[in-house]
Structure formats: structure tokens, C-alpha cells
Structure 1
Amino acid sequence: MTPPRPPLMPLDDALARLLAQAAPLPGIDTVRTLDADGRVLAQDCISPLHVPPLDNSAMDGYALRRADVAAPGAVLAVTQRIAAGSTGSALQPGTAARIFTGAPVPEGADAIVMQEDCEALADGAVRINAVPAPGQWIRRAGEDIARGAVVLRAGTRLTPAELGLAASIGLHQLAVARRPRMALFSTGDELAMPGEVPPEQMRPGAIYNSNRFFLRAMLQRLGCAVTDLGIVPDRRDATIAALREAAQGHDLIVTSGGVSVGEEDHVKPAVQALGALDLWQIAMKPGKPFAYGRIGAAHFMGLPGNPVSSFMTFAVLVRPFVLRLQGVVDVAPKSIAARAFFTWARADKRREFLRVRRNAEGGLELFANQSSGVLTSAAWGDGVVDNPAGQTIAPGDTVRFIPFADLVA
């Protein structure tokens, strides 16, 4: 008698089990701030100075004492000119300083009047045509960053904005998590490589290996150093040999194909021969079969062979795991409430990821064919609807939208 199949594992449970295994990798790299885009901070960045370092002008105009401008039309002698990068002298009563954006505010001045509200006079004086408010157009020292403040936390994945912020406190290099070392290969005798076999010479049943391209690109976007082991034949000995090689000097092995239970699916017994494996049936669509295990010190993740299934399981399971290996704490993609411009009448028992794209009205349109083999849907769309199990969708319903920018960045 065939034993009953275990229930499908909820996706959130699978992710929690994975992240429990994802201890941050040892080792720190020191890189130039200019070269740190996409890397993950290994140490807090603490500011050694105020930003801005001094009170400075937010406008081109005139620095003055408010007490000298009781009413519009006051005339003040202009006694100095202060440009960004220079400093002026203390401002005397009854005088003004011509000042430019970013220039330090002279001692004694308590407001800036923009040049559009002033009239320069022929004798070197200026007429002030507006009464300034206290502190008008003055950016205070430390207004952006105070000395001693933690500007960026360890575990932050650096973007161009963070690089600029680090530079603004004088950091020319940063301590970052080392790059995870990843081994990647595909399994399947049906696979061929573009450029090696022309389309007209493809044998019956053969397909081009698209998974290799997007998986490698996604790993590299996550900051990984990728060793691409290519295509492994559907033989147990070849699979064991590839896994044994991949386990040497790598933190994670990622494969696509061969993790089901067919006679030609050799990944499961090969991993078990070398280490330990959990084969999970996850309640997500596309992407039900998924495997996690260990071979020596290396983690192993086996993805399904269908392209969209492989793409989505990587996005929602592998990506958070790889980020956690680098010390990132918040690894969950952010969903956005959006309005459906489509009907989805076929509620599934699994949590579904429907490929969609935004239209001119800000709503979501559905790709017509949601099959797990139709990679066109991922290229056409700009995100997915994260649809709970058992949920239908009608036009106008509010749904959870996850942009691909958050899943592949």
C-alpha cells in the first residue's frame, strides 16, 4: 500500500526553516566606498563629524541680523562676500553679507534673505524687501547627521544613496560581508546551450538552458562569486561527481532540475549519498518541488526545472537565504496594495504568484498564460500578485503586488 503523501508545506514555514540554517558567513572584506554598491555592511558606520559641519546658507542671498530689518525696504551696507568653501567675519550691526548656497553663516547673522527678495544698490548697499523669519534659510550644523550618530547599520545592503551618505561623513572605505561563494549547475539530457547548437540542428526533445542564465544573473546581482559548472548529464555518477566538486570551497550549491521523484531525477539520491537532504513539497504555485540539504560545509538548494518555477523559488526562497548569509536581517520582499484589472476565477489550494504588469491607470494586468513553463510571462511582467491559497480575484479587488525589482535586485 502506497503511504499517503505528506501535506504541502506552507511557504512561510519553508522560508523560516531555511533562514534558521542561514548563519552569516565568517569573513569581512574592506573595499573602497566607490566600489561597495550592492555589498552588505559588516560594521556600523558612525559619524565623526556634524553634517553639515557649520550653519550654512540654503539660498543665494544676504545674511543679516533680523533686528536690522524691522520693515520691508531696510537698506544695509554689504561688507563682505561669502562663497561656499570660504568663511566670513563676524557680522556687524547694520550690515549684510552677500552669501551663496552652502557658505557658512557668519557669526551674528540670524537669517538669510534670498536674492529674489533683495535689491542691490549702486553704492554697494542692499535693500531688503521682505522681513525674514527667525533662522530663515539657515541649515544648522548637524541638521542632517550629528557627530557620533550611527549613520548606517551593519546588515545594510548598500545602494547608491548609502554610498553617498557614507562619503558625506568621510568614509573612503567600508567593511563589508565577504561575497558568498556559489556553485551553480543544471541537470538534464534535454538541455543545450545557446551558441553551441544552432536552432536548426536541435535534436527532437531538446531545449535551450534558460535557467542557467537567469539564475547566474540573480546570484551575481546578490553579490555572489559564482562558479558555473554548466550542464550535468542525467546520470547518478555524473551528478555525484558534480556535487562533490561543487561542495569544495563553496558556501551554497544551487541546481535546477532533477529534484522530483522520477527515474531520471538523480539529484536527490546523489545529495543523500554525499550528505543530507530534505525534499519539500511547498504549497506555492509555480514551484512546488524544492530541496534543501548539506554536503560537508556547503548548503544545497535544488530548484525545479520548469523555468518560471525555478525563477520564483529562487526569488522567494534562495534570495532571502543568500542575503541572510551576508548578514541582512530584513530579507522579505515588500508587497504593495494594488488594484486588479483582471479576473482570476480558478482558486488554487496553493499560494499563487501570478505574473502581472502595471498599466497606465496604476492597476495590474494579468499575463494570459500562467503556466510554469512560460518564461515570457516573467519578461513581459514587472512583478507578481502574491495570491493566498483559495482566493479568487475580480476586477477592482485589492491585491498584494511584489515588483520584480524587489525580487531580483
Structure 2
Amino acid sequence: MGCCDAPGLMPIEEAMAKILENTHTVQETESLALDKAIGRVLASEILSPIHVPPFDNSAMDGYAVRIADLNTQSTLPLAGQSFAGAPLQGEWPETTCIRIMTGAQIPEGCDAVVMQENVTVTDEGIVFDPSSVKTNQNIRPLGDDIQVGQLVLSKGKRLTARDLPMLASLGVAHVEVYRKPIVATFSTGDELKPVGTPLGAGEIYDSNRYGTIPLFEKFGCDVVDLGVIPDDVELLAQAFEKAKTEADVVVTSGGVSVGEADFTKDILEQKGEIGFWKLAIKPGKPFAFGKLDDALFCGLPGNPVSAFMTAYILVQPLLAKLGGEREWKEAPTLPAKTLSSFKKSPGRTDYQRGIYAINEHGEFEVETTGNQSSGAFRSMSLANCFVILERERGRVEAGETVQIQLFNSTLY
């Protein structure tokens, strides 16, 4: 059976394009203090208000000299000092040198800094080797890192721990960022019970929200947790009403299959519109996407691995665009040699859980985590990558080459 033999299943690439086509960035912004801005998305570009460094400064502990003085004599008396935050005060006499420390302002007229390791200190003064001194050596010039007016961060950039120190070095105290997208989420099913309570016959613990809510928060969202909603049409309708008025995106898990008690599709058809319902992906075929008035809707499958993976693969880019992030990219894939076989039937793109390592030759190798059932979450816990098997591909034997996708930071 090839991919065309799976009628009604939308390829994941087409689904992702439709999702992003219907997703628009939030318009509201806020000004945040720099120390509160980690992980937020810039709503405007940032141009440098100053030069960095703001003055010529020394790259080494040593001695500031005029090369013209060294052309006449190799020993120069010490005439003063320039330390970080305490530059040289007063005049700098000719044929003398200045003690200078790393980061200190270069005295006017200095055209070289000689490392302290390359001089000899005597009672008569500091002895230099003039032949080794070059113009501008060990001097970091004004604006060497950043120029006034230079674009340093673009609109749509998610701020990281690497960005904040740079902005601080520019004296930027506040940044304009998009507000966080709001996700309202709930699980559905009479069989779901809270963790910490005894299980009755046919009952299971509600585990999905313990995976998806942290993901949404790591994706940069605020989450409205509506808990577990039983398989009751009225209660589900009320939950959808509340969710769509409080959030930009409504994400449910469960209730999107074709069982008699799966009411989500019926309610969505009454209160909104369905974009698509079934995908050529494994696990996660019954993923749904649509709209509830002004809110977007994502219906995750009920099986734990399916819910978690579709949230990671399909909802993550939606939330990135919604939150204004322009630089978000799917993690790249890498070729790896299989150390174990992988069961696979043609028809759906398969995201299997794998464990990769790098061998002594610098090559990627990967093996299965074992049970690939959509209800077996231990395989997800053990994994450090996805083994992405193409729609048309069948069973993979040990020794073949596959494409793996390393987890991004949201899974750690």
C-alpha cells in the first residue's frame, strides 16, 4: 500500500501549510524590563543607541605607549595609570608610558598597548622591545563590536540568554514584546481520573495535560487549564464556549476519533469550522484543526504519545507564528545508521522514538526505544530523537540509513 492508498489522510506538509496559512500574529504588545524579557518575542527591531565599546580600550594588562617615543628610546619611565572605570587624569608627558589594565580607556595619543609579559620592569623605567610593537596592537577601538544605529535584533526575535547581556551592554532597559499567546486546554473522556486517586475498572490516569501544558508554556504561551471534561455533550459545549472566549487557541486531547462517545467533532461543526481531521502521520492520525469564532482549534488524539507528538510537531509552529516569532524553524534532520530494525508500513509519515549516539568514526547511529505504541509513553521518555520514516517507506532493517531529528530545547 502506498501513500495514495490511504484515502482521506492529508500529508503532514500540506496540513502544516494550512495551519500556518490560517494563523496570524497577535497584535497586542507590552513593554517589559530587560530582566523580565527572557523567552519573549520582540515586537520591534532594536537599533544600538551607542557604540560598543563606547571608547578605545585596552585588550590586555600592560603598558600604553606612543610608538614615536619607542623610536627614540626603549626604556620609558612610568608616568601614570589607566584602570577600568578610572582613566588617566592630567597630561601624559612625552617619552613616558602609562600602566593600563584590560578594559581601561586608552589615553589620548596612545597607539599601542604592550602586554606586561613582554616588558622588563627596572628602577629606571619599563624596558620595551621596539621591534615587536605594532600600531594599534591590543587596542579595541570605539564601536569595534557594535556601531551606533546598527540593527542588533530584528522584530520577531525570541530573546535568549545570549541576547540579554548584549542589550544590557547597550543600556537598553526595556523592550517592546508581543503579548504571550493564550492556550486553553482540556482533556476529554469518562475514563480519565486525576493522578493520586485510586483507579476503578476501565479507568486510566489523565497524563496528557502533564505533557502538553509544559510544552505550551515552553513554547512561550500562557495556559488556561480547564481540566478533564467528561463525555457529556452539554459539559463539552460549555467547555468550548469558555475556552474560545478566554484564549487564542483551544487545544483538546481525546474525543477526535470516530467512537460513539467522541462528541468533539459534532460540537466543533456546530460552533465553528473544521479545516481538516485526519493526517497521514503516525502516531497522531486523528489530529484535527479548525476555528471557533476568533480562536483557532487543535484537537489532539487521546493516546498519550500521539497527543504529545502532535503538540510538538504541529502545534509548536502554530504558536510560534501566533506569538510573532519569525525565526522559528523545525529542527534539521540528520542521516543515521540503524542499529536495530524499525517496523513500518507504507502510507503515513512515521515519527518513531529513537536513541542516537555518535560512534568512534563521528557517525550518527540510532536504535529504537522499543515499544512504539501510541499509548506507550516510556518509549518517549527514553528517546533523544525522532526517527522520521517517509510515507512510502516500509520496514527498516538494521544497517540501513534513516533520517533522525534531534529534540529541540523544549523537550529538555
TM-score by length of 2: 0.90
Q: Distance in 1 between matches of 2:96 and 2:403?
A: 60
| Counterpart position of 2:64 | 63
Query: Compared with structure 1, are the counterparts of its residues 16 and 140 closer, same or farther at alpha carbon in structure 2 (3 Å cutoff)?
Result: same
| Counterpart position of 2:219 | 222
Within 5 A, what are the aligned runs for 1:91-170? 92-128=93-129, 131-170=132-171
| Counterpart position of 2:185 | 184
Q: Distance in 1 between matches of 2:144 and 2:380?
A: 44
Q: How far did 1:344 drift?
A: 3.5
Gaps (5+ residues) in structure 1?
none
Q: Distance in 1 between matches of 2:226 and 2:19?
A: 24
Name the count of aligned residue pairs.
Answer: 401
Deviations 1:354-388 (A, max 9, x none): 22233363643321222211111222122223332
1:82 aligns with 2:82: yes
Contact 2:353–2:380 (Cα < 8 Å) also in 1: yes
Q: How far did 1:280 drift?
A: 2.5
Aligned partner of residue 311 in structure 2, secondary structure: helix
| Counterpart position of 2:352 | 354
1:248 aligns with 2:245: yes
| Counterpart position of 1:344 | 341
Q: Distance in 2 between matches of 1:148 and 1:136?
A: 27
Contact 2:334–2:405 (Cα < 8 Å) also in 1: no
Q: Distance in 2 between matches of 1:74 and 1:400?
A: 64
Aligned partner of residue 163 in structure 2, secondary structure: helix
Query: Compared with structure 1, are the counterparts of its residues 387 and 129 closer, same or farther at alpha carbon in structure 2 (3 Å cutoff)?
Result: farther
Deviations 1:304-342 (A, max 9, x none): 011111111111110110110111123322214253342
| Counterpart position of 2:30 | 29
Contact 1:24–1:326 (Cα < 8 Å) also in 2: yes
Q: Distance in 1 between matches of 2:191 and 2:285?
A: 21
1:302 aligns with 2:305: no
Q: How far did 1:266 drift?
A: 0.9
Q: Distance in 2 between matches of 1:223 and 1:294?
A: 21
Query: Compared with structure 1, are the counterparts of its residues 242 and 57 closer, same or farther at alpha carbon in structure 2 (3 Å cutoff)?
Result: same
Q: How far did 1:128 drift?
A: 4.5
| 2:311 aligned residue (310, 314, 326) | 314
Deviations 1:76-124 (A, max 9, x none): 2221211111222675543222111111112222222222222222344
Deviations 1:225-274 (A, max 9, x none): 21111001012222111111111121111000111111111110011111
Q: Distance in 2 between matches of 1:395 and 1:109?
A: 67
| Counterpart position of 1:12 | 13
Deviations 1:383-403 (A, max 9, x none): 223332234656565544333
1:403 aligns with 2:412: no
Q: Distance in 2 between matches of 1:385 and 1:146?
A: 45
Q: How far did 1:277 drift?
A: 1.6
Q: How far did 1:205 drift?
A: 1.8
Q: Distance in 2 between matches of 1:70 and 1:357?
A: 65
| Counterpart position of 2:373 | 371
Within 5 A, what are the aligned runs for 1:313-332? 313-332=310-329
1:264 aligns with 2:261: yes
Q: Distance in 1 between matches of 2:345 and 2:141?
A: 57
| Counterpart position of 1:389 | 391
Query: Compared with structure 1, are the counterparts of its residues 248 and 390 closer, same or farther at alpha carbon in structure 2 (3 Å cutoff)?
Result: same
Aligned amino acid, residue 262 of structure 2 = D
Q: Distance in 2 between matches of 1:148 and 1:224?
A: 32
Gaps (5+ residues) in structure 2?
none
Q: Distance in 2 between matches of 1:90 and 1:396?
A: 75
Q: Distance in 1 between matches of 2:335 and 2:66?
A: 52
TM-score by length of 1: 0.91
Q: Distance in 1 between matches of 2:219 and 2:18?
A: 21
Contact 1:119–1:128 (Cα < 8 Å) also in 2: no
Q: Distance in 1 between matches of 2:382 and 2:16?
A: 27
Aligned partner of residue 34 in structure 1, secondary structure: helix
Of residues 89-98 and 352-361 in structure 1, the stretch that sits farther from structure 2 once superposed is: 89-98
Query: Compared with structure 1, are the counterparts of its residues 79 and 321 closer, same or farther at alpha carbon in structure 2 (3 Å cutoff)?
Result: same
Q: Distance in 1 between matches of 2:370 and 2:71?
A: 70
Q: Distance in 2 between matches of 1:398 and 1:86?
A: 62
| 1:275 aligned residue (272, 275, 294) | 272
> Alignment identity in percent?
38
Aligned partner of residue 384 in structure 1, secondary structure: strand
Q: Distance in 2 between matches of 1:330 and 1:92?
A: 54
| 1:202 aligned residue (181, 199, 204) | 199
Of residues 23-32 and 331-340 in structure 1, the stretch that sits farther from structure 2 once superposed is: 331-340
Moved over 6 A (4+): none
